[in-house]
């Protein structure tokens, strides 16, 4: 029996996504600490400004000003605006919620993307994958626990993040079919910088702590690398295939929350996170099975 090699694109896209999730967990953990020392808007501006500088430093030597050429500037601006609003909601959420629990709630997003990708992007979503997504949704409900004292108004913030992030990911997946990844990254970072620079005058405070300054730089680096990896992942794999692996950010976020803030989720939250992780692992095995089936079909 001969071994058939796996098609490289799906697994490469998954690997890129996992690295992106690790970057986003670093970004979230650092954000929670930084926003205790500086205003949220200033932190958002710094995140975009440093990310934009890093992006320009990488992209301009490679592509020059040709990076500004795009087939659909409206989509590029819309993506930048969406991510800026999402970032603001994320930063506010992280002031009020633990990193791990916040990340787990936001993981409702992959459920919506998986369901909607079948209709809006024409991607195939199997019944098995939908059932596994539902398992992850049950885990999310266990963490939120609606109807109990655990469910307070701050939990509405990550739910708003879910809705807008779903639109963001669907738009990213659609744009990746026709738009260059470097161009998309360039526009997104500078749109965010421009939007947050306008009201910055009223929120600026001097930074005397070198650690806070270094953390602001780290936020920009993690954001730049994470979003570039995310775009490249969508270029190589369908949205429905990638979404289950976004659950890996829960593990990265729990690790960051423990290392930075000594926070350990309660038993119910751990149970919910376990169900979400289980659905992600099972979905990963399903993806490998589907890849092998396609390989045999060829």
Question: Above 60 in pLDDT, residue 216?
Answer: yes
The predicted-structure confidence for 67-90, as pLDDT tens digits, reads as follows 888 888 888 899 999 989 998 898
Question: Above 80 in pLDDT, residue 285?
Answer: no
What is the per-residue DSSP string for the chain? -PPPPPPHHHHHHHHHHHHHHHHHHHHHHHHHHHTTTS-HHHHHHHHHHHHHHHHHHHHHHHHGGGGG--S-HHHHHHHHHHHHHHHHHHHHHHHHS-HHHHHHHHTHHHHHHHHHHHHHS-----HHHHHHHHHHHHHHHHHH-TTSTT--GGGHHHHHHHHHHHHHHHHHHHHTTTS-HHHHHHHHHHHHHHHHHTTGGGT------HHHHHHHHHHHHHHHHHHHHHHHHHHHS-HHHHGGGGGHHHHHHHHHHHHHH-----HHHHHHHHHHHHHHHHHHHHHHHHHHHHHHH-
Question: Above 70 in pLDDT, residue 34?
Answer: yes
Q: What's the confidence (pLDDT) of residue 191?
A: 92
Q: Choose the most confident range, by mean pLDDT, from 74-78, 92-96, 265-269, 272-276.
A: 74-78
pLDDT band at 295 (very low <50, low <70, confident <90, very high): low
Average pLDDT over residues 53-80: 86
The predicted-structure confidence for 102-117, as pLDDT tens digits, reads as follows 877 777 676 666 666 6
pLDDT band at 265 (very low <50, low <70, confident <90, very high): confident
Question: Above 80 in pLDDT, residue 64?
Answer: yes
pLDDT band at 3 (very low <50, low <70, confident <90, very high): very low
Mean pLDDT (the chain) is 79
Question: Above 50 in pLDDT, residue 7?
Answer: no
The predicted-structure confidence for 175-195, as pLDDT tens digits, reads as follows 877 888 788 888 888 999 999
């Amino acid at each position: 029996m001969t071994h058939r090699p796996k098609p490289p694109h799906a697994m490469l896209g998954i690997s890129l996504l996992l690295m992106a999730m690790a970057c986003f967990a670093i970004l979230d953990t650092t954000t929670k600490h930084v926003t205790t020392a500086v205003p949220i808007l200033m932190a958002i501006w710094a995140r975009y400004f440093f990310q934009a500088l890093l992006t320009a430093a990488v992209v301009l030597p490679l592509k020059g000003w040709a990076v500004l050429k795009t087939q659909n500037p409206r989509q590029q601006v819309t993506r930048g605006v969406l991510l800026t609003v999402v970032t603001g909601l994320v930063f506010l959420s992280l002031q009020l919620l633990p990193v791990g629990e916040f990340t787990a709630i936001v993981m409702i997003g992959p459920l919506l993307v998986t369901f909607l990708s079948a209709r809006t992007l024409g991607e195939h979503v199997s019944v098995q994958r939908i059932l596994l997504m539902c398992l992850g949704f049950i885990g999310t409900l266990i963490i939120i626990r609606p109807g109990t004292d655990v469910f307070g108004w701050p939990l509405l913030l990550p739910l708003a993040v879910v809705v807008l992030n779903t639109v963001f990911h669907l738009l990213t997946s659609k744009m990746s079919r026709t738009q260059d990844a470097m161009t998309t990254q360039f526009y997104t970072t500078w749109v965010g910088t421009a939007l947050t620079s306008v009201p910055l005058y009223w929120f600026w405070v001097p930074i005397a702590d070198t650690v806070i300054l270094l953390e602001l730089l780290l936020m920009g680096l993690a954001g730049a690398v994470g979003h570039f990896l995310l775009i490249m992942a969508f270029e190589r794999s369908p949205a429905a295939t990638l979404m289950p692996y976004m659950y890996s950010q829960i593990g990265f976020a729990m690790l960051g929350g423990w290392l930075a803030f000594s926070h350990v989720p309660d038993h119910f939250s751990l149970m919910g996170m376990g169900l979400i992780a289980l659905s992600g692992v099972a979905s990963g095995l399903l993806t490998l099975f589907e890849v092998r089936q396609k390989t045999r079909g060829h």
